[in-house]
A and B are shown apart, each in its own frame.
Chain A
Amino acid sequence: AQSVTQPDIHITVSEGASLELRCNYSYGATPYLFWYVQSPGQGLQLLLKYFSGDTLVQGIKGFEAEFKRSQSSFNLRKPSVHWSDAAEYFCAVVLNTGNQFYFGTGTSLTVIP
């Protein structure tokens, strides 16, 4: 079955530490890929997206993500986490032949001072 997997339900990091959030997909073709962030009780904000080209994409708030076709992954990274980064992070994919977004179940990030 086609799916989007975020293996880590919850991650805790210290402020200033590096961060990597994992996202894997299982589709036959390379989909278009997105990362969104959600603060408690709020809507989702787009962090970055990948359609084609350079596999390392830069987003807002100092985030970046790398698409690895061989691993069917699109992991989100940040070199130094700030307390304000504490939130829920969602990976999403859409097939280049389709029109529906598929979301992962999210990773909740806690930042320790």
Chain B
Amino acid sequence: DGGITQSPKYLFRKEGQNVTLSCEQNLNHDAMYWYRQDPGQGLRLIYYSQIVNDFQKGDIAEGYSVSREKKESFPLTVTSAQKNPTAFYLCASSINIGSRGTQYFGPGTRLLVL
């Protein structure tokens, strides 16, 4: 089955701790994205990557970091600098970064602060 997987489904973070969310796709898509979803605010773009070893900041990149060492993987690290990390995080991918690149989403990771 082709698709996007995210793990873990739930993640707990302690104060001052960095945590990493996993996103893997086997769709052979070039572009990948991370969004944050909060109630009543829709989806906000954190980072996106057009190609391996390249990524760009989105609208709310502060307190987050990413890497794109492999085409199929785009992990997101929520650093201790992110003061309000509790949210639902969605990873997406598309064939390319162009305007017709329909985005397909993973099942999401819910991050909670202890």
Distance to closest chain B CB from A84 (angstroms): 18
Q: Is A42 within 8 A of B42, CB to CB?
A: no
Contacts of A51 in B (CB 8 A): 100
B29 on the A face (CB < 8 A): no
Q: Give the contacts of B19-53 with A (CB-CB under 8 A).
A: 33, 40-43, 45, 48, 50
Distance to closest chain B CB from A104 (angstroms): 6
B107 on the A face (CB < 8 A): yes
B105 on the A face (CB < 8 A): yes
Binds B, one of A53-61, A62-70, A74-82, A95-103: A95-103
Q: Is A90 within 8 A of B99, CB to CB?
A: no
Residue in chain B with minimal CB distance to A6: B42
Contacts of B97 in A (CB 8 A): 99
Contacts of A99 in B (CB 8 A): 48, 50, 97-99, 101
B111 on the A face (CB < 8 A): no
Interface residues of B (CB under 8 A from A): 4, 6, 33, 40-43, 45, 48, 50, 58, 88, 90, 92, 97-108, 110
Give the 5 A-B CB pairs with smallest separation, nearest first. A43-B105, A105-B42, A44-B105, A103-B43, A99-B97
